[in-house]
């Protein structure tokens, strides 16, 4: 059976805690990652926890980008799932790791996941 999509998981360590705790910063960064990946954005839902932390999802026609932040640990987990040939999930991941506002000189990322090929055509 052929895979239906590509799934990338990012773990971001030693990030800027203030940026990870800013609802606006996290939301804008995730939407920008989706746009750079050429995603079709359907909805954007984020929640700020008290006393800290953000969870959110950018729902896209091709699937989703999700994030959960733990500013107190300077850590964020990102989930990017994509279907189809147009979306570029690696572009979204690269933006978040290399240009995300939470990046710092010490920031590190661990990536997992792989490209699982092209999904079958709807007529197959």
Sign of CA dihedral 59, 64, 70, 75: negative
Tens place of pLDDT for every residue, the chain, 124 residues?
Answer: 566 788 888 988 888 999 999 999 999 999 999 999 999 999 999 999 999 999 999 999 999 999 999 999 999 999 999 887 788 888 999 899 888 777 755 545 555 554 444 444 444 4
Distance CA 124, CA 32 (A): 34
* pLDDT for residue 46: 98
Minimal CA–CA distance to 33: which of 82, 108, 89, 74?
A: 89
* pLDDT for residue 114: 46
Catalytic residues: 63, 68, 83
Q: In the chain, what are the domains?
A: 6-111 (3.60.90.10)
């Amino acid at each position: 059976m052929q895979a239906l999509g590509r799934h990338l998981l990012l773990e971001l360590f030693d990030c800027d805690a203030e940026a990870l705790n800013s609802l606006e910063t996290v939301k804008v960064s995730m939407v920008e990652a989706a746009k750079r990946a050429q995603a079709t954005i359907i909805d954007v839902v984020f929640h700020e926890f008290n006393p800290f932390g953000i969870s959110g999802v950018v729902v896209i026609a091709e699937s989703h980008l999700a994030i959960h932040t733990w500013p107190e640990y300077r850590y964020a987990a990102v989930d990017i799932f994509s279907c189809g040939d147009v979306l570029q999930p690696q572009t979204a991941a690269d933006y978040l790791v290399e240009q995300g506002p939470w990046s710092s000189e010490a920031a590190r990322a661990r990536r997992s996941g792989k490209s699982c090929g092209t999904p079958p055509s709807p007529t197959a």
